[in-house]
Amino acid sequence: MYFRRIRELREDRDLTQAAVAAYLNMHRSVYRRYESGVREIPVWAVLALAELYRVSTDYLLGRTDRPSPPGKK
């Protein structure tokens, strides 16, 4: 599954794939595969990315267009 939002969020914050991969404690090539949809993103990585970008996991997964986590306005 391709999650276009993880790339958009990364680019909007002027982060490199290497920087996000380091945050996730993985090689850049693994993270690149998540962005391109070649490799499925594990749940722990989705949670970490939601925390990094301060958005809901539903937003990352494309289930909502509202980036704020539940309970926040």
pLDDT along the chain (73 residues), means of 10: 83 97 97 92 95 93 80 58
The domain limits of the chain are 4-60
pTM: 0.86
What is the predicted pLDDT for the residue at 1? 55
What is the predicted pLDDT for the residue at 2? 57
Residue 34: phi and psi, rounded to 5, are: -65, -45
Burial readout 17-52 (b: 16 or more C-beta within 10 A, e: otherwise): beebbeebeeeeeebbebbeeeeebeeebbebbbeb
How many CA atoms lie less than 13 Å away from 4 in the CB half-sphere? 3
What is the predicted pLDDT for the residue at 73? 53
Q: What CATH code is assigned to 4-60?
A: 1.10.260.40
